[in-house]
Amino acid sequence: MSTEAFDAVDIIAAKRDKHTLSNEQIDWVIDAYTRGVVAEEQMSALAMAIFLNGMERPEIARMAQAMIATGETLSYEGLATPDGTPLPTADKHSTGGVGDKITLPLGPLVASFGVAVPQLSGRGLGHTGGTLDKLEAIPGWRAELSDAQMRTQLSEVGAIVAAAGANLVPADKKLYALRDVTSTVDCVPLIATSIMSKKIAEGTSALVLDVKVGSGAFMKTQEKARELARTMVDLGKDAGVHTVALLTDMSTPLGLTVGNALEVRESLEVLDGAGPGDVVDLTVALATEMLAGAGITGVDVAANLTNGKAMDVWRRMIAAQGGDPDAPLPVAAHREVVYAQADGVLVELDALKVGVASWRLGAGRARKEDPVQAAAGIELHAKPGDAVRRGAPLMTLHADTSERFARALEALDGAAVIAPAGARAARESIVLERIA
306 and 373 share a domain? no
What secondary structure letter does DSSP report for 128? B
User: What is the reported pLDDT for 183?
Assistant: 86
User: What is the reported pLDDT for 368?
Assistant: 66
Give the end of a domain, one of 320, 348, 373: 320
Nearest to 109 by CA among 303, 345, 393, 347: 303
What's the CA gap between 176 and 245, in Å, rounded?
Answer: 22
Would you put residue 87 in left (φ > 0), alpha (ψ -120 to 50) or beta? beta
What pTM was computed for the model?
0.93
CA distances from 223 to 167, 219, 228, 229 (A): 34, 9, 9, 10
Nearest to 432 by CA among 219, 126, 259: 219
User: What is the reported pLDDT for 186?
Assistant: 82
102 and 216 share a domain? yes
CATH value at residue 382: 3.90.1170.30
Quick check: is 2 in a domain? no
User: What is the reported pLDDT for 427?
Assistant: 62
User: What is the reported pLDDT for 406?
Assistant: 97
Residue 348: which H helix or E strand, with range?
A: strand 344-349
Report residue 260 CA to chain centroid gap.
Answer: 14
User: What is the reported pLDDT for 126?
Assistant: 64
CA triple 119-125-130, angle to 5 deg: 30
Give the end of a domain, one of 68, 83, 112: 68
CA distances from 355 to 117, 173, 339, 366 (A): 28, 24, 18, 13
Domain that holds residue 59: 8-68
Residue 344: which H helix or E strand, with range?
A: strand 344-349
Give the end of a domain, one of 267, 292, 320: 320
User: What is the reported pLDDT for 105?
Assistant: 98
Quick check: is 115 in a domain? yes
Quick check: is 301 in a domain? yes
CATH value at residue 60: 1.20.970.10
- Specify the pairing of strand 242-249 against strand 206-213: parallel
Nearest to 235 by CA among 189, 202, 204, 203: 189
What's the CA gap between 323 and 141, in Å, rounded?
Answer: 4
183 and 299 share a domain? yes
The neighbouring-strand residues paired with 20 are: none
Judged by DSSP in three states, 396 sits in strand
Quick check: is 375 in a domain? yes
* Low-confidence residues in the chain, pLDDT < 50: 1
What's the CA gap between 166 and 78, in Å, rounded?
Answer: 24
Judged by DSSP in three states, 173 sits in helix
User: What is the reported pLDDT for 110?
Assistant: 98
Quick check: is 75 in a domain? no
274 and 310 share a domain? yes
The number of distinct structural domains making up the chain is 3
What's the CA gap between 396 and 341, in Å, rounded?
Answer: 15
Quick check: is 84 in a domain? no
pLDDT digits (tens, 9 = 90+) for 132-159: 999 999 999 999 999 999 999 999 999 9
CATH value at residue 172: 3.40.1030.10
CA triple 272-302-265, angle to 5 deg: 30
239 and 388 share a domain? no
User: What is the reported pLDDT for 221?
Assistant: 94
pLDDT digits (tens, 9 = 90+) for 352-378: 999 999 999 999 876 666 788 999 999
Q: How many CB atoms lie within 10 A of CB 17?
A: 9
368 and 298 share a domain? no
Quick check: is 3 in a domain? no
Q: What is the DSSP string of 196-265?
A: HHHHHHTT-SEEEEEEEESTTSSB-SHHHHHHHHHHHHHHHHHTT-EEEEEEEE-SS-SSSEEEHHHHHH
304 and 243 share a domain? yes
User: Which residues are part of the catalytic machinery?
Assistant: 93, 172, 179, 194, 198
Report residue 196 CA to chain centroid gap.
Answer: 13
